[in-house]
Structure 1
Amino acid sequence: MQASATRGSAGRSPRASSFVGRRQEVTEVKRLLAAHRLVSLTGPGGVGKTRLALHVLPALTKRFADGVHVVQLAGVRDSSLVPLALAEALNIRDVSGRSPVEVLVEHLGERELLLVLDNCEHLADACAELLGTLLARTARVRALATSRHPLGVAGQHVLEVQPLPTPAPGEPLPPKPALEYPALALFADRAAEVLPGFALTADNQEAVAALCHRLDGLPLAIELAAVRMRALGVRQVLDRLDRRYRLLADAEDAPARHRTLRATVDWSHDLCTPQEQAVWAHASVFAGSFDLDAVEEVCAGAGLDRDATVDAVAGLVDKSLLVRDGDTVHARYRMLESIRHYGLDRLRESGADAEVEARRRVRDWCLGFVEECERRWFGPDQPELVRRLHAESDTVRAALEFCLGTPGEVRAGLKLAGHLWFFWFATGALMEGRFWLERLLAADPEPTRERARALWALALMLLSQGDAVRGGPLAEESHELALRLGDETEAAHTYFGRGGARLISGSFERAREVYEEALSRPPREGESMSLVGFKYVELAHVLSLQGEYERAMALCAEFRRICLAHGEQWIHSYLLRILAFAEWSRGDQVSARTHARECLRLKRAVGDVFGIGITLELLAAVHARSGEGRPAAVLLGAARRIWRDAHVALDRTPSHGPVRDEAEAAARALLGDAFGPAHREGLELDPDDAVGYALGERTSSARRVPDSPLTRREAEVAELLGQGLTNQQIADRLVVAVRTAEGHVERILSKLGFTSRSQVAVWTASRGTARP
């Protein structure tokens, strides 16, 4: 969902080539969206619904004050995940514990925005139900959907996307046929990509017109046929396609356009090498994009070694059967839905168990990948690991869904979900963590090590949402089960949750007893060092609340040395926050300011939005005690935005409320009537901008570049894209998490309606965009 919402992935397009034709359709989509709250683009596979939807977005961005948000649903298989995919696309990190639909309704509220749901056909009922609810319960939300069939939503307006016009056989061609017939222009454009210099001429235009007519004007079929120009002439392409079409027409009772696309894809398949055919079939089980490591593992089941798989992937890209995504450092690949479904059909034809076995290999790859990420988590690679885990979200979700829906596989799914705790917890994806853990635990009640781990993982999700009533007993159940199994490692993992339940319930002394007991024992073999670190963090937290500042700071210093030795940032940021809190509490504002800012730098690097929120308020309290009312008010406003977008009244940390309350009271006393404007200025800052303000990297919260749909930070990222920087290089330059940089890139592409980084570069150059 990254976010395909992913996460479907917001704002990511299916192709990076130019857009041809469709002027009337573009105008009609704009008109319909001005008059109707839901517009559905329908039509057969390969007709260009997604391309049309994405192409029209740049002209729509200025109409919607709160932006355009794209949800790619091709990688979502479970209908229950549709609300989560939309939440991810909207960058909602909710910790309230409510249903995703209720969270969406409240978040959208009075916002004025456009939702674009792409590839709805396999989730039609779920999309219809969700859109119906959102449109009924909000005032200014509009939606644009693409689907092979209309959605059953009252009030929707359907625009059936037709194939591109082509000349009738024998019809005389006008002097400039490409201007009147976009199908011919599309073929010429794509043919020139594989045969530089190709153009429509008096010698070839009749053959091109006949070919496009034979292909029924279907854009995908035209693009696949154009690839053949690398080796054949136009007439040769037409002759071979004619023979295939006649055979298929005799064999199948299907609509002509379906036969046309099938004949074209059949031909593409037959022109592939056996290795390419095998990779095509096996890679079709990936729900979203994938990298070489993943496809090599899955294709090993087809008897292909790594070199053969790499060569086959390259061949499929050359034939336009795989689309290359990513950047120059991290290449990823995916299939258009029509191509993927064809590959699945071929895989199923190859054997009764072929699809199940391929999906099992994907699951096994996911488990190995996630376990390796968890092993490396306590170290210097956290930002990179977050980036990779986000990129693989569709594949991981499909693996979990496979485990839930396949007899005998639930235990493996429980194991996979248990090892994902750190990712869900660190990135605030608590709704998704609960979604999978609750279902898998219900499906496998047997007393196993996998269950013990999943229980404490679910407890952490619930406790992070402030639910000690449910989270506490689950942590205790996990502890008892681990002891009964003789698993000291999993028993040790439960202390964080067991103490946390007491802490957020206000039982500080009982929480202290749990953490004192935990730290009285050395770490067990295989115990997560992150969870060891949290024992230090939370004991220091309790000690600070009880006024034992010296020991609290000593504990922070002790584990900080371990973090520094390993290059760890996530736990280190929590230690710095507690250290700053203890220093603030004892009156050392200089040290508190230094450590709070250092904490923010680390939290920005790993994308810990909630951690940023509580630290902004602590830093606001430092400013307030130092007599600096304006920065205190701005930072309080920025933190308030985080809690508003997370849909919680306050953060659940016991040290948080008194800090915030004191900071606000002091800032109001210092500023008087000027508090409101400064606070509203902070409300305009997103978390990345807020950290920049807190660190003194920027002094203004002005959000948008004049005459541009981009915020100032997005304009900075657009400029760096224009310089050819990768997402990792952008993150390093701006000192943000890679996922944050990726999010900026996705929003830029969505807002501008572009499909490639090179288009952004041209846009910035044409505007003379300068860094704000």
Structure 2
Amino acid sequence: MAASVQGGRIGNLPAEANVFVGRRRELGRITELLRTERLVTLTGPGGVGKSRLALRAAHAAKADFPGGVWLVELSELRDPDLLTNTVAQATRLTEQTLRPLLQAVSEHLAGAPVLLVLDTCEHVLDECARVVQELLAHVPELRVLATSRQQLGVPGEHLLTVAPLPLGERDDAVALFAARAVAAVPAFTLTDDNRADVTAICARLDGIPLALELAAVRLRGFPLHRLLEGLDSRFDLLVSHARPRLARHQTLRTAIGWSHELCTPLERLLWARLSVFAGGWDVEAAEFVCHGGPLDPEEILPLLASLTEKSIITMDGDGAAVRYRMLDTVRSFGAEWLTGLGEAEAVRLRHRDYFRWIARQGEAEWLGPGQRMWAERLTAEHANLRLAIEQCLTAAEPEVALELTGSLWFFWFACGFAEEGRTYLERALRRAPEDGGPEHTLAVWAHRLVTVVPDDLEAAESVSAAYVWLAEERRLPVPALPLTGASLAVRGESARSAVLYGSARQAPSGDGGAEFFQLLTLAVQAYLLASQAAFERCAAVAERLRAECAKRGELWMRAWGDFFVSLAGIGLGHPHEAVRSAREALAAKWRVHDRIGAAAVADLLVVAQAAQGEDELAAHLLGVSRRLWFAAGLPQLGRPDRTVFHREYERRLRTSLGDTRFTEAVTAGRELGSEAAVTWALGGALDGAGGGDGADGSGGSGGPGGPGGPEDSSEPGDSHGPEGPGDPGTSGAPGA
């Protein structure tokens, strides 16, 4: 399965921001259609409530889709070529793969009934149609619910037009206005005395939900009768001459325009400048990008608060994690205003330069205690980074694109965006001369770092096969160490090593890439020593790596030190210590979104548990590792018919447990969702609920989903902080 029910959570649907009002008939119809039709598209004008209706319908349909209900928000996507990447990321498929990505997505979604919700398709319509048609052809269990102002035009598409809300005194439009009015002004009550005015307001706004919500917020500054009078004057002026087919579109624009007029000049200016962001933004970004002229940086925060109160923007999170967003229709209005002011190009360049600075800061601080923060921050800013890169790729100076895409090497390589990074780096390199200076060198280095070529897999497999033979000949305690994953993940093959060494020598002195390579060199040495069964020397080099990372408070490369300490512990006959270090590595890899690294560590856990005689637990973990290789976009590295490691351990564990117990255990591990799988691999042993005492790191042998099992919603491995692992007898909050 692509996902499973774990802790009551399926897929990635966000919580609904407020109470859903009305639309019972439409919801019932969507439910019926999703049971019989494979593609349902909700169409209608902007602001009519397509996205909100789709989200409500998706929540209602979760029980029908054990494979997951996955929301793919496309409004912030600018480049149609990245649509498949966006689908992969939304469905939690890390696209570190050389196979066609759409093929990987199809395999990832296959196995159980699954619903994909594609929201706001109209601006990437052709690519949406192509991707949907391919997915429907190759995933028989798939249903797609799309929202778009235009139909996709895919064979078999069933259209459902979303109309404005009904306008009678007891109908949905009045109920929605009243609900949003109470949210804006808690003292408001819908009564027989004011119902006629509310009904008139709803009629003036044609029952368009977004217009109703914007109008309801105006009650903070206007009594109800004044609100109606203001709408009357605005609409008499601007709507009366609109052609009939444009009336509803003009109604929404007029409602937004009236909200715009009621803003102060500085609020209007900030609204316009904020329109350059893709997705969301934080206060720091707004202060940098939007200041200038009459707008001072210190005025940005109170203006953001004011625009939030007026429902022009929305706010998520709290404290330092606060982020703001703007609805597409509202953003489009601001963008037109920005163009009219003649500021569009200048503000876009400030946006680009801010995210260039963010990338440089992230690179400089990646190998330090802020690593996890940077992984999460740049993941949150992914849409803005894409927009900044596209801006760089159109700049007259090609070195600007080389610098930005190259500076993000750590984001592409360690945070699960290798395929996208390769695409951007190749585009930047094609525009630049080969002797382009340090920016060119950095981009070449980054491209080599994130590129996995077929020879890598062959080299990794040959090393693993050789070790199986060596282990059998020497009767080592563990016959097949999982070197395939380690080889791939640290790019440690001898042929690749030469390429990386050559590239690193050219890297600008003192930059993050050069420092990273110093640590990578230690990981490569540990890998090569392990492949020669020189376990004591491997452990010594791995300890050096851990010490160097500890100086920096670094997690990602530190996890490779944990990995090789664990691997050496297995070879030296210390499986309890090996389990402890492997779990520390897994927690860290998952926290910084390194899916390939997590899969490689899961392989190691199979070996460590088998070395302790925990064969059933090892079989569960074998299924978990297959799930994680699948999620990393490299399922061939988890298949027993394709890799020596999985073939060897399938044979040994099947012999030990018998066919039935082995198959049940592997299936249970494989059918967990990726987050649940990692959570179980950590929490099942570390929280004491799985039967282990936690004293020696061995944990219990309970299977996935047993008592004390994890929830998909939290984060695994919080006990492994930047300064090193925490108490192994205490698990952190599970999930990712």
Q: Same fold (TM over 0.5)?
A: yes
Matched with 1:216 is 206
The 5 A counterparts of 1:313-712 are 313-351=304-342, 354-404=343-393, 406-408=394-396, 410-448=398-436, 449-463=438-452, 466=454, 468=456, 508=494, 524-528=509-513, 529-651=515-637, 660-673=646-659, 674-685=661-672, 686-693=677-684, 695=686, 697-699=688-690, 700-703=702-705, 712=710
CA distance in 1, matches of 2:357, 2:507: 28
**Partner SS for 1:17:** coil
Q: Does the 8 Å CA contact 2:96/2:419 hold for their aligned counterparts? A: yes
Matched with 1:768 is none
Q: How many residues align?
A: 666
Tell whether 2:121 aligns with 1:143: no
Q: Does the 8 Å CA contact 1:634/1:680 hold for their aligned counterparts? A: yes
Structure 1 residues 284 and 512, CA gap change in structure 2 (3 angstroms): closer
Matched with 1:186 is 176
Tell whether 2:78 aligns with 1:77: yes
> Which stretch of the first structure deviates more once superposed, 582-591 or 221-230?
582-591
The AA in structure 1 aligned to 2:284 is D
The 5 A counterparts of 1:250-261 are 253=243, 255-261=246-252
> Which stretch of the first structure deviates more once superposed, 637-646 or 268-277?
637-646
Structure 1 residues 192 and 594, CA gap change in structure 2 (3 angstroms): closer
The 5 A counterparts of 1:58-137 are 58-137=59-138
CA distance in 2, matches of 1:645, 1:431: 14
**Partner SS for 2:96:** coil
CA distance in 1, matches of 2:73, 2:272: 22
Structure 1 residues not aligned, in runs of 5+: 1-8, 168-176, 473-498, 718-732, 742-772
The 5 A counterparts of 1:220-239 are 220-239=210-229
Q: Does the 8 Å CA contact 2:94/2:417 hold for their aligned counterparts? A: yes
Structure 1 residues 194 and 678, CA gap change in structure 2 (3 angstroms): closer
CA distance in 2, matches of 1:516, 1:454: 15
The AA in structure 2 aligned to 1:78 is D
Percent identity of paired positions between Structure 1 and Structure 2:
38
CA distance in 2, matches of 1:318, 1:513: 58
The AA in structure 1 aligned to 2:32 is R
> Which stretch of the first structure deviates more once superposed, 87-96 or 617-626?
617-626
Tell whether 2:238 aligns with 1:271: no
Q: What is the TM-score normalised by the length of structure 1?
A: 0.80
**Partner SS for 1:18:** coil
C-alpha displacement of 1:466? 5.0
CA distance in 2, matches of 1:363, 1:37: 40
> Which stretch of the first structure deviates more once superposed, 35-44 or 232-241?
232-241
CA distances 1:176-219 after superposition (whole Å, capped 9, x unpaired)? x3xx3111111111112222221122221111111110110111
CA distance in 1, matches of 2:504, 2:218: 67
C-alpha displacement of 1:231? 1.7
Kindly indicate whether structure 1 or structure 2 has the higher relative contact order, using CA contacts under 8 Å at least 6 residues apart.
Answer: 1
Matched with 2:695 is none
The 5 A counterparts of 1:30-69 are 30-69=31-70
Matched with 2:188 is 198
Q: Does the 8 Å CA contact 2:441/2:506 hold for their aligned counterparts? A: no
C-alpha displacement of 1:649? 4.4
Matched with 1:735 is 732
Q: Does the 8 Å CA contact 2:535/2:568 hold for their aligned counterparts? A: yes
CA distance in 2, matches of 1:401, 1:522: 25
Structure 1 residues 303 and 468, CA gap change in structure 2 (3 angstroms): farther
CA distance in 1, matches of 2:377, 2:507: 32
Q: What is the TM-score normalised by the length of structure 2?
A: 0.84
Structure 1 residues 470 and 72, CA gap change in structure 2 (3 angstroms): farther
CA distance in 2, matches of 1:272, 1:516: 58
> Which stretch of the first structure deviates more once superposed, 138-147 or 254-263?
254-263
The AA in structure 1 aligned to 2:301 is V
Q: Does the 8 Å CA contact 2:492/2:528 hold for their aligned counterparts? A: no
Q: Does the 8 Å CA contact 1:10/1:71 hold for their aligned counterparts? A: no
CA distance in 2, matches of 1:501, 1:190: 54
CA distance in 2, matches of 1:689, 1:411: 46
Q: Does the 8 Å CA contact 1:616/1:694 hold for their aligned counterparts? A: no
Structure 1 residues 591 and 249, CA gap change in structure 2 (3 angstroms): closer
**Partner SS for 1:54:** helix
C-alpha displacement of 1:572? 0.8
C-alpha displacement of 1:308? 1.2
C-alpha displacement of 1:118? 0.5
Q: Does the 8 Å CA contact 1:462/1:470 hold for their aligned counterparts? A: no
Structure 1 residues 523 and 367, CA gap change in structure 2 (3 angstroms): closer
Structure 1 residues 734 and 246, CA gap change in structure 2 (3 angstroms): farther
Q: Does the 8 Å CA contact 1:703/1:712 hold for their aligned counterparts? A: yes
C-alpha displacement of 1:604? 3.5
Structure 2 residues not aligned, in runs of 5+: 1-10, 461-485, 691-701, 716-729
The AA in structure 1 aligned to 2:409 is W
CA distance in 2, matches of 1:501, 1:679: 23
**Partner SS for 1:159:** strand
Structure 1 residues 76 and 701, CA gap change in structure 2 (3 angstroms): farther
C-alpha displacement of 1:329? 4.4
